[in-house]
């Protein structure tokens, strides 16, 4: 018995992961499983850089197609729904196995390190039910104070969450308070579920800033401000996806406390900060194959798929 093969395409924000994944999936009869914590939400389209596509019914299933390739775990979660890392892992593993069982190649694609690691390392994630009263109390605090508290309680978890992601900070504190143990100590690695090839799409530091600025400008032209305004008319700024980069920064703009230029500058800063945190995570993983061009990626995938399956360790 052997492990199913899984190809992971990862990289920092704006590094071109999606385009590479579609190209590889087209060549190797693959399907994409998104590992993006923002693209999974419905209605949040421009600011999350969802791959342009459309929904179709294929084989009795409603599938999102982009570049002619089925994309799973994109545009499926109601913005008001409580969605955890454990929920993501369960859905992702299910979809990957479905793709394998159809005789196609699964590509796990994204930059959300927690999502990638939960699947690739088969994390056993603590199943702590949401404590709405506690969450309400913590929500009234600002992200900086919550982050400082998490740093005191669990420095490793704080490093993973980052200082801006209020939702993840609150979830980590919620688990710590419920169990009396560090959140970082409760995510245990399990036996691998897949034989994994990891391909990293690099973004040189001297190119990153210009790429991020161009990306933000492109989203603005595509209607980002209008999208955020419409979403705010329906949802509170405290909603999880509304706290994401590209959305949260518009709050002060619509409250006339910040100009559009200042808003775009802040968005770019937050994306650059995110990219640095992502690279810190990825640099720790010595199993990632960093490529210089798409041809190298094609060769890596070809060789990986040709290799005899690795026997499942018992």
Q: 22, 69 in Cβ contact below 8 A?
A: yes
Query: Looking at the structure, do residues 214 and 180 belong to the same domain, yes or no?
Result: no
Domain boundaries, position 132? 126-186
**Separation of alpha carbons 296 and 288, rounded Å:** 13
Specify the pTM.
Answer: 0.87
Q: 294, 23 in Cβ contact below 8 A?
A: yes
Q: Which two tokens stand for residue 37?
A: 């914590």
For residue 264, tell me if it sits in a domain.
Answer: yes
Strand ranges, E, within 190-275? 195-200
**Separation of alpha carbons 171 and 43, rounded Å:** 24
Q: How many domains does the chain have?
A: 2
Q: 32, 72 in Cβ contact below 8 A?
A: yes
| pLDDT (tens digit per residue) in 225-270 | 999 999 999 999 989 899 999 999 999 999 999 999 999 999 999 9
The secondary structure of 108-133 as a DSSP string is EEES-HHHHHHHHTTEE---PPP-HH
pLDDT for the residue 198? 98
Q: Which residues have CB under 8 Å from 234's CB, separation 6+?
A: none
For residue 266, tell me if it sits in a domain.
Answer: yes
What CATH number has the domain bearing residue 159? 1.10.20.140
What CATH number has the domain bearing residue 251? 1.10.287.890
pLDDT for the residue 1? 61
pLDDT for the residue 312? 47
**Separation of alpha carbons 129 and 136, rounded Å:** 14
What is the mean pLDDT of each successive set of 10 residues along the chain, which is 314 residues long? Answer: 92 91 97 96 96 88 93 96 91 97 97 93 83 85 90 86 81 88 79 96 88 95 97 93 95 96 96 90 93 96 86 44
For residue 193, tell me if it sits in a domain.
Answer: no
Residue 56 has φ and ψ, to the nearest 5°, of -140, 155
For residue 157, tell me if it sits in a domain.
Answer: yes
| Ranges of H-type helices in 85-235 | 85-101, 113-120, 132-139, 143-153, 155-161, 166-179, 205-221, 224-234
For residue 244, tell me if it sits in a domain.
Answer: yes
Query: Looking at the structure, do residues 210 and 265 belong to the same domain, yes or no?
Result: yes
């Amino acid at each position: 018995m052997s492990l199913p093969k899984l190809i992971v395409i990862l990289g920092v924000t704006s590094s071109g992961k999606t385009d590479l994944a579609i190209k590889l999936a087209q060549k190797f009869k693959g399907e994409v499983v998104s590992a993006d914590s923002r693209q999974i939400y419905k209605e949040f389209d421009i600011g999350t850089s969802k791959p342009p596509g459309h929904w179709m019914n294929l084989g009795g299933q409603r599938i999102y197609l982009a570049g002619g390739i089925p994309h799973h775990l994109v545009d499926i979660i109601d913005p008001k729904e409580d969605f955890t890392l454990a929920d993501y892992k369960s859905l992702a593993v299910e979809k990957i196995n479905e793709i394998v069982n159809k005789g196609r190649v699964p590509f796990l694609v994204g930059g959300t390190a927690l999502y990638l690691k939960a699947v690739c390392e088969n994390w056993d994630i603590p199943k702590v039910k949401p404590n709405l009263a506690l969450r309400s109390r913590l929500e009234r605090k600002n992200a900086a104070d919550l982050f400082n508290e998490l740093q005191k309680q669990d420095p490793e978890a704080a490093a993973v969450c980052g200082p801006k992601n209020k939702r993840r900070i609150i979830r980590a504190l919620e688990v710590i308070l419920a169990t009396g143990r560090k959140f970082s100590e409760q995510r245990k690695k399990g036996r691998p579920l897949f034989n994994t090839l990891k391909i990293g799409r690099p973004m040189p530091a001297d190119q990153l800033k210009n790429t991020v600025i161009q990306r933000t400008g492109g989203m603005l032209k595509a209607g980002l401000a209008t999208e955020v305004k419409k979403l705010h008319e329906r949802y509170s700024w405290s909603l999880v996806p509304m706290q994401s980069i590209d959305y949260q920064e518009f709050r002060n703009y619509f409250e006339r406390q910040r100009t559009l230029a200042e808003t775009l500058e802040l968005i770019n800063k937050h994306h650059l900060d995110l990219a640095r945190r992502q690279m810190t995570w990825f640099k720790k993983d010595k199993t990632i194959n960093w490529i210089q061009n798409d041809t190298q990626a094609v060769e890596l995938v070809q060789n990986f798929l040709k290799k005899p399956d690795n026997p499942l360790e018992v």
